[in-house]
Amino acid sequence: MTHQRPYDLVLFGATGFAGRLTALALAKRLQGSPLRWALAGRTLDKLEAVRREVAELDPTRADLPLLVARSDDLKSLADLAASTRVVLTTVGPYALHGEPLVAACVHAGTDYADLTGEPSFVRRMLTQYDAAARTASVRIVNCCGFDSIPHDMGVLYTVRELRQGRPLAEAVSVEGIVDAAGTISGGTWQSAIGAIAQLGRIAPAPRQETAPGRQVGRLKRGVHRDGEGGWLVPLPTIDPEVVLRSARTLAEYGPAFRYGHYVRVRKTASLVGGALALGGIVALAQLSPTRALLMRAKGSGEGPSPEQRAKAWFRVTFHARTATSKLTTRVSGGDPGYDETAKMLAETGICLVEDRDNLPLNCGVVTPAAGLGHALLNRLERHVLKFEVLSRD
């Protein structure tokens, strides 16, 4: 039984850039908590170094357990998954390194959460592990960082504010608009290049049935003016796919739901320059020699400095409409890729442990909103992100 396991939560990949920040986020949130947690990674001396940093924040964690495990060592992953109720992992690129841990967690009956934003990985996990995870009553929760919690949970918050305690009887359309400033790490860069290299070869998303009488789909709107002199450009990220998966699962999104996902570009020159730069990266990523050069541009484990992260920020604004109402909400925070992402993943793990009896009944390979719902939203509101209503008509 899971309650007999030595740990409630294990963080795998604790010595990497994002993993270290997540370990420190857990240390801050779990001061004085009886929750039993541990750090896991490839190298004991590096784990010990992270533990020393944890102990500086919380001296009671000076003897925090350390587990040595590798993504290419199946026995170590099986032992890790069997030792805990919940695994958090920051080990990417997930398309290369993620599947064995998912398999181990499903087999062991252990809940799992990661930071992936890689469509190919998520779709493969849905195809190969969703049914088994449902049977085992396990939650495999992908996309628990900036991809895609602000967007997924932001829409859940927006729907909550639209409903105001009543069922939605009208069709809902939502546009999510991203504004952000920040610097990416080597791991994120390499994951992005790997995902771009798969463009045109990614399997389509597995078909997800929507309950009879409900309709869910994307808003069909391309590049357009934002009303403030800038441009709204559709974002080819996993985020809208995640939002729509949540909408298909959660009846509270109403009888019909549409979502569009955009980034705001304030200058036409930036729009043109960005398009050209992205086109060049896409072309270079398709060939092995030039892809290797792109990969070497930022090494794994490298990341922005504390000073750079302190200047970073994000906000996602949601414009929601029904036939009779309009609502504008916003989710905002600091450094999106690392400081806030670490807190989001940490809060997801704590929620899976502490709120298990109050979570939605949705198991399998699930989105944050579908798998953790309002329990996670309430935690994020209290501890991590700012959710607010900007206007209501």
pLDDT tens digits, one per residue of 291-341: 566 455 555 556 788 998 999 999 999 999 999 999 999 999 999 989 999
ω before 270 within 30° of 0 (cis)? Answer: no
Coil, helix or strand at residue 171: coil
pLDDT score, position 278: 47
Q: pLDDT digit string (tens) for 208-228?
A: 778 778 999 999 888 888 877
- Give me the helix-helix angle, 239-249 and 368-383, nearest 10°: 110
Report residue 111 as tokens: 């809940």
Assess whether pLDDT exceeds 70 at residue 67.
yes
Q: How confident is the model at residue 79 (pLDDT cuts 50, 70, 90)?
A: very high
Q: ∠7-115-199 over CA atoms, to 5°?
A: 145
What residues contact 343, with CB distance under 8 A and at least 6 apart?
Answer: 25, 29, 383, 384
Question: CA nearest 237: which of 180, 292, 287, 276?
Answer: 180
The pairing of beta strand 215-218 with beta strand 256-265: parallel
Write down the residue that tokens 């396991």 correspond to: 5
Q: What would the mean pLDDT of 263-282 be, rounded to a whole number?
A: 55
CA–CA separation, 355 and 380 (whole Å)? 13
CA–CA separation, 287 and 266 (whole Å)? 32
- 13 Ramachandran zone, left/alpha/beta (phi>0; psi -120 to 50): left
Assess whether pLDDT exceeds 70 at residue 142.
yes
Q: How confident is the model at residue 201 (pLDDT cuts 50, 70, 90)?
A: low
Looking at residue 38, the DSSP 8-state letter turns out to be: E
Q: How confident is the model at residue 231 (pLDDT cuts 50, 70, 90)?
A: confident
ω before 391 within 30° of 0 (cis)? Answer: no
The distance from CA 352 to its chain's CA centroid, rounded to whole angstroms, is 14
In one-letter notation, the amino acid at residue 298 is: K
Rounded to the nearest integer, the mean pLDDT of the chain is: 88
pLDDT score, position 302: 62
Q: ∠325-242-26 over CA atoms, to 5°?
A: 105
